[in-house]
Amino acid sequence: MPRSRINGNFIDKTFSIVANILLRIIPTTSGEKEAFTYYRDGMSAQSEGNYAEALQNYYEAMRLEIDPYDRSYILYNIGLIHTSNGEHTKALEYYFRALERNPFLPQAFNNMAVICHYRGEQAIRQGYSEIAEAWFDQAAEYWKQAIALTPGNYIEAHNWLKITRRFE
């Protein structure tokens, strides 16, 4: 049974009802509808912390989805799961792939910056100050891109860029 039919959360049920109505009235192919169903089920599983199930749904959605823009969000969500699991190299790979298809995902740039900043902090703790600076510089570049796409967002990142004199 599809996850969308067994979900007990009111918001998820509401989203499922609205999504099902939209799928009926918007002209889409059966493959696009099926891809969206897997994507929706992946989001539902992800929100409940069922990452393995979410990944299965996202991979199936990727197999079916042909639109690059829609694929970018699937890839982004896969990146989120890998980030949550501490698999930062994999997460960065999926964020890059998402941005290749949709360069207007500030949240992907932000998440990449957060990972780079974290790696910089790890390098400092291990006594590798030059490596840390390289990670921080990379984080700064990603945060600048996120901020350029959504001015007014990422206030903490903006402040960090100013404090560390990385904001141009």
> Which one has a higher pLDDT value, 6 or 113?
113
Write down the pLDDT at residue 48. Answer: 93
Q: Is 5's pLDDT higher than 50?
A: no
Asked if residue 105 lies in contact with residue 99, where contact means CB atoms within 8 angstroms, the answer is yes
Q: Is 3's pLDDT higher than 70?
A: no
Helix ranges (H only) for the chain are: 3-6, 10-25, 30-47, 51-64, 68-84, 88-101, 106-125, 129-149, 155-163
This prediction's pTM: 0.84
**Cα separation of 47 and 58, whole Å?**
13
Question: In one letter, which amino acid is 60?
Answer: E
Q: What is the mean pLDDT of the segment spanning 21-43? A: 80
65-87 confidence digits (pLDDT tens): 999 999 999 999 999 999 999 99
